[in-house]
Chains A and B, each alone.
Chain A
Amino acid sequence: SYTLTQPPSVSVAPGKTARITCGGKNFDTNTVHWYQQKSGQAPVLVVYDDSDRPAGIPERFSGSSSGNTATLSIRRVEAGDEADYFCQVWGLSSDQVVFGGGTKLTVL
């Protein structure tokens, strides 16, 4: 079955750039979406279609995808960015949704 691989944790100092990766297959044909989930809250879409931002999401959040790796970047990290981040694809051939295992972002 299709899987997405994320590092369990990423730590970054305030003001620096955090990069969270998502490993999979065929990202050239499957777009990647990213969700932020703060403790005790529902997930929120922060990047969709590899690199687009929904309305209301700060420009500090950006995404990229190439080959078998997608990356969520958060510039000028703030304490409020501390959360779990999940990548997601929709397997077009299988019509199934897959989530990555999630990455806990810790702001030092």
Chain B
Amino acid sequence: DVQLVQSGAEVKKPGESLKISCKASGYDFSSFWIGWVRQKPGKGLEWMGITYPGDSDTKYNPSFQGQVAISADKSVTTAYLQWSDLKATDTAIYFCARRNNLKFDRWGQGTQVTVSS
């Protein structure tokens, strides 16, 4: 059974760094792209970027390029989303999702990130 299990909720201060994770199981992790999607409170879905664990190729939405880093570690079948300088505007729920052809067919449960002084 394909599963994506995300790390738990985080509360951080502006300027801090953070790395959240998405643990995959039940399929060949190296052969599917994994993407990250942001959802601000009461708002829609925003695609942030995507990585291919097989060769670490990564693509970003231009709106998020330079603001976050997306990566994956095949050895532990886990994808990551990382910030080095959090802002209050980063407060949101972040979902990882597996890309299968051109659709996202499995989603993680989401990680709430709250950035507040």
Given contacts A31-B102, A35-B104, A88-B103, 12 further A-B contacts (CB under 8 A): A43-B45, A43-B95, A43-B97, A43-B107, A44-B107, A48-B105, A84-B44, A86-B44, A88-B45, A88-B104, A89-B102, A101-B44
Q: Are B50 and A97 in contact (CB under 8 A)?
A: yes
Encode contact with A along B31-54: 1 for CB under 8 Å, 0 otherwise.
000010100000011110010000
Nearest CB of chain A from residue B42's CB, rounded to whole Å: 10
8 A-B residue pairs with Cβ-Cβ distance under 8 Å, sorted by A, are A42-B110, A84-B44, A88-B104, A95-B59, A96-B47, A97-B47, A97-B50, A97-B61
User: How far is the CB of B22 from the nearest CB of chain A, in Å?
Assistant: 12
How many A-B contacts if CB must be within 8 Å? 56
Residues of B near any A CB (own CB < 8 A): 35, 37, 44-47, 50, 59, 61, 95, 97, 101-105, 107-110
Chain A residues lying within 8 Å of B110, measured Cβ to Cβ, are 42
Q: Are A99 and B45 in contact (CB under 8 A)?
A: yes
Q: Is there contact, CB below 8 Å, between A45 and B103?
A: yes
**Contact flags (1/0) for A25-42 with B, using CB distance below 8 Å?**
000000101010100001
Q: How many residues of A contact B (CB 8 A)?
A: 24
Which A positions have Cβ atoms within 8 angstroms of B? 31, 33, 35, 37, 42-45, 48-49, 54, 84, 86, 88-90, 95-102
